[in-house]
Structure 1
């Protein structure tokens, strides 16, 4: 387990979690915010994206009161990403996350998760900054991130392909 904060815990992704990921990432209301409704996942796609990839992301499952409810990954930005975002140096981490169990939305768990992960990155990974790049239209996520101490830094035009269109994103950061 990476950390626990009250009823919330984050642990490394396990092989058996692929069934949860396939369930969550084939749910239209979840896909609206993560990956896009035109991009559902089956088990093969989950395997290729989450288990067969050779990337540097640390892939984790979010649990609340012992029940798996979502996914989070963290990674240190490489030089190309730092340059794209306008950073010259420093140990900068990014995260991507979603709560896949919709019944756990609007309960403050997202705020607890982002705050806890940010604390983990600064205390244990010795981050200088933590960054996120939510799509501009995703006001719900942006409000959560701002509540957690993140600030908008830079508009990233046409940064992410989502539902057939390149969408603008905000680069937001915490210097906690």
Structure 2
């Protein structure tokens, strides 16, 4: 277990979770927002992407009310991404994160906001993050509203940043700055 906050638990990905990820990432309702409906995952593809790929991110399962409902990953932003995002001259500790709720029954109930707030607190307090960044697609207004409620702000438009359903989509670079950085 990475941490628990109330009825929310974040734990590192385990081998048995490949079946959950395959279930979620083969559901068109979920794929519409994460990976794309033209890119479903079977168990073998999950194994390759989430277990055999180089572990540059900490990959986790989100549990809520004692059941798995989604996925979150976080990572220290590498030099290439720093360059793309405009942070190449910064010496700050910069983390990125990605997440999705794989059980759509938990959408629009404030659970996403709880997840993002808890992850932000964890990254600042436990990992020493000065700044946390994400790059949601511009059309995903529900996710962007959630992130803004959690203290993220739009920094710049990233044109044609992510391949999604056969076309490159614009994304927003959004950031959350830890209070320690703001108070300096």
TM-score (norm: length of structure 2): 0.94
Q: How does 1:92-107 map to 2 (within 5 A)?
A: 92-107=94-109
Q: Which one of 161, 168, 181 corresponds to residue 166 of structure 1?
A: 168
Distance 1:136 1:106 in 2: 19
Using the TM superposition, give the Cα deviation of residue 55 of structure 1 relative to its aligned residue in structure 2, in angstroms.
Answer: 3.2
What is residue 48 of structure 1 aligned with on the other side? Answer: 48
Q: How does 1:102-113 map to 2 (within 5 A)?
A: 102-113=104-115
Larger mean CA deviation between 12-21 and 81-90 belongs to: 81-90
Runs of 4+ in 1 over 3 A off after TM superposition: none
Q: How does 1:66-85 map to 2 (within 5 A)?
A: 66-85=66-85
Unaligned runs of 5+ in 1: none
Using the TM superposition, give the Cα deviation of residue 3 of structure 1 relative to its aligned residue in structure 2, in angstroms.
Answer: 1.3
Distance 1:95 1:46 in 2: 19
Distance 1:55 1:65 in 2: 28
For each residue in 1:40-71, what CA deviation from the matched residue of structure 2 results, as whole angstroms up to 9, or x when unmatched?
A: 00001000000001131100000001100000
Distance 1:47 1:169 in 2: 27
Distance 1:79 1:51 in 2: 23
Q: Which one of 129, 132, 154 corresponds to residue 130 of structure 1?
A: 132
Distance 2:45 2:107 in 1: 25
Using the TM superposition, give the Cα deviation of residue 152 of structure 1 relative to its aligned residue in structure 2, in angstroms.
Answer: 0.2
For each residue in 1:25-48, what CA deviation from the matched residue of structure 2 results, as whole angstroms up to 9, or x when unmatched?
A: 000010000000000000010000
Using the TM superposition, give the Cα deviation of residue 106 of structure 1 relative to its aligned residue in structure 2, in angstroms.
Answer: 1.0
For each residue in 1:75-123, what CA deviation from the matched residue of structure 2 results, as whole angstroms up to 9, or x when unmatched?
A: 0001111111001221100001000011111111100000000000000
Unaligned runs of 5+ in 2: 179-184
What is residue 116 of structure 1 aligned with on the other side? Answer: 118
Count of matched residue positions in the alignment of Structure 1 and Structure 2 = 176
What is residue 149 of structure 1 aligned with on the other side? Answer: 151
